[in-house]
Chains A and B, each alone.
Chain A
């Protein structure tokens, strides 16, 4: 390796799942200093026209992006552009800018920038994440208006080299769409936040994305080879030959785009060598191009996270708008089943305006079912919306963060009340709709026996279960080696849950990252897990591993593993098993 191609590692925040490798293309945003120019009285009208024209073109472009997002991804994501449309349509602000232009006899670029900056400066430091997103939207509009004022030709993103890993300081949602068209294998940004609009769009297109990677756009050069891990947030720049080969070998299918890879999966559920069909399902956040593809491959939804609707609008969505989404998803996936999880929000995500102040420990705080049980109106609205969407009989309800039987009883009572309300109005729904619970806290796993008697299925949230059991924040970069779902303590809790499920004859799903891990899959099957639900970008792992094993050997493996008492031995044995698969 030469000096210019030195190997180094960057760590960022994972924003969209998946592994990717390829060549970097760094995009620098052209931000020129805004010119300040004096104009004559006669030129004022001309400045007005220039400004009007630039804003009209900005609005036209935004309308295009909105339409394109609507077609390619879906309604809720398209609405991400509404905020910018609202900003660009602000006639009153425009009038003020024009008045200032006339008063100061300065050019529109200068006055427009100056007035925007004056307006948003105090907002930049807002504690409210939604306000900060609004600032980003205002800046995005400003830059497009300036761009059109400059009358420059567009660096046509579509002319960019295809198939690269794109790196930039930050990307707007519109740019992510464009990068997707360029066949982006992954996206890396220096700034950004995990619930920003940009991250949401990247996730809906399953482009592996890492954000908040310090100075990435300065340290990575176009042409550098990269291995990007959208789950851990790790980026290896100019990896060694060994690392590169390992990445290529581990996932030869990564040559293709995640969506292409998905389309090539077999159109039947994976079957083991001893002819047992293993149910495989997907974890989904929002409707998108994935839905038809997965459904065509007989893959259902093991976990539909409904928080997105809240995060996108900044408030709990109405019953009607929820019904629209749930019904369209139920329809897309029919006859596969769709498991809809009720709102699982915490103070780290919830809008501060919704009256939940900052907590010191959001993970151990007011979250999940606790919030919705305190707001029974909201809970019942969501339940009614889900019930109304269950007429095809392929929908299930999943309750998050259950820690105690009394919570479960309250929730079930509210569900029964919602059913009664619909019956009174003669509204159709699946009266036998299965209701299950997440097993994601130790107390739920330990008392799974009591809980299992009251529900139709169990869903193990291995990420959170690991976090709470090992007292390790999964986002804490220092604890990366400690946080591991293969820890014997976590495995024992999983086994307890499975035993409870078997005793009450109900199915058990694992819906955390573990279920998409090639090493863990045989273990989970051997322990008796009925369904593996994973991020769609990991599905190829399941289809790869399952046909190469027998349930008999998986059971034997599980028995061995449960006797081991340390992580190193467990990982070692799993790796051994994996390598021995033909």
Chain B
């Protein structure tokens, strides 16, 4: 099991587009992926789940992965969140 922390920095949080991006990336890994926010855990490969998390700006998330490529998964996904979903320039 591997985990890492990330903070949401996008102004409108993790809605529609970032959620879809997260799920797309997470789904590429073999490991199971979860996101935890304030004790609530959702499946990181589920678009319905991630959207419901409604992680607003400033939320502290824990990204958890379990499986073969868990280290790579956590590293990639934490980076994704920390950089505002690949759009550092859009912050």
A91 touches B87 (CB 8 A): no
**A413 at the A/B interface (Cβ < 8 Å)?**
no
1/0 per residue, CB under 8 A from B, across A309-321: the answer is 0000111100000
Question: Given known contacts A90-B46, A91-B45, is B90 in contact with A134 (CB within 8 Å)?
Answer: no
Number of interface residues of B (CB under 8 A): 26
Residues of A5-53 at the interface with B, using a CB-CB cut-off of 8 Å, are: none
Cα-based distance from A351 to B12 in the complex (angstroms): 9
Contacting chain B: which of A122-130, A145-153, A276-284?
A: A122-130
Q: Using a CB-CB cutoff of 8 Å, which residues 138-174 of chain A contact chain B? A: 138
Q: Is the CB of B17 within 8 A of A351?
A: yes
With A and B bound together, what is the CA distance between A134 and B15 in angstroms? Answer: 10
Find out whether the CB atom of A354 lies under 8 angstroms from the CB atom of B48.
no
Most A Cβ at <10 Å: residue of B17, B18, B49: B17
Pairwise interchain contact A128-B90, C-beta atoms closer than 8 A:
no
With beta carbons under 8 angstroms apart, the residue of B24, B43, B54, B89 that contacts A92 is: B43
The answer to the question of A353 belonging to the interface, with a C-beta cut-off of 8 Å to chain B, is yes
Q: A468 to nearest B CB, angstroms?
A: 28
Question: Which residues on the A side are within 8 Å of B18 (C-beta)?
Answer: 353
Contact in complex: A316, B46 (CB < 8 Å): no
Check A126–B15 contact: CB distance below 8 A.
yes
- Number of A residues with CB within 8 Å of any CB on chain B: 29
Q: Is there contact, CB below 8 Å, between B90 and A315?
A: yes
Looking at the assembled complex, report how far the CB atom of B43 sits from the nearest CB atom of chain A, in whole angstroms: 4
Alpha-carbon distance A86/B13, docked complex (angstroms) = 20
Whether a CB of chain B sits under 8 angstroms from the CB of A83 is yes
Question: Do residues A93 and B48 form an inter-chain contact, with CB atoms below 8 A?
Answer: yes
Against A, the Cβ 8 Å flags (1 = close, 0 = not) of B19-63 are 010011000000000000000000101111101101000000000
Sample of 20 A–B contacts (CB below 8 Å):
A86-B24, A87-B47, A90-B46, A91-B46, A93-B47, A123-B51, A128-B15, A128-B16, A130-B15, A138-B48, A313-B17, A315-B86, A353-B11, A353-B15, A353-B18, A353-B90, A354-B11, A354-B87, A355-B90, A378-B89
Residues of chain A touching chain B, judged by Cβ–Cβ distance below 8 Å, are: 83, 86-87, 90-93, 119, 122-123, 126, 128, 130-131, 133-134, 138, 313-316, 351-355, 375, 377-378
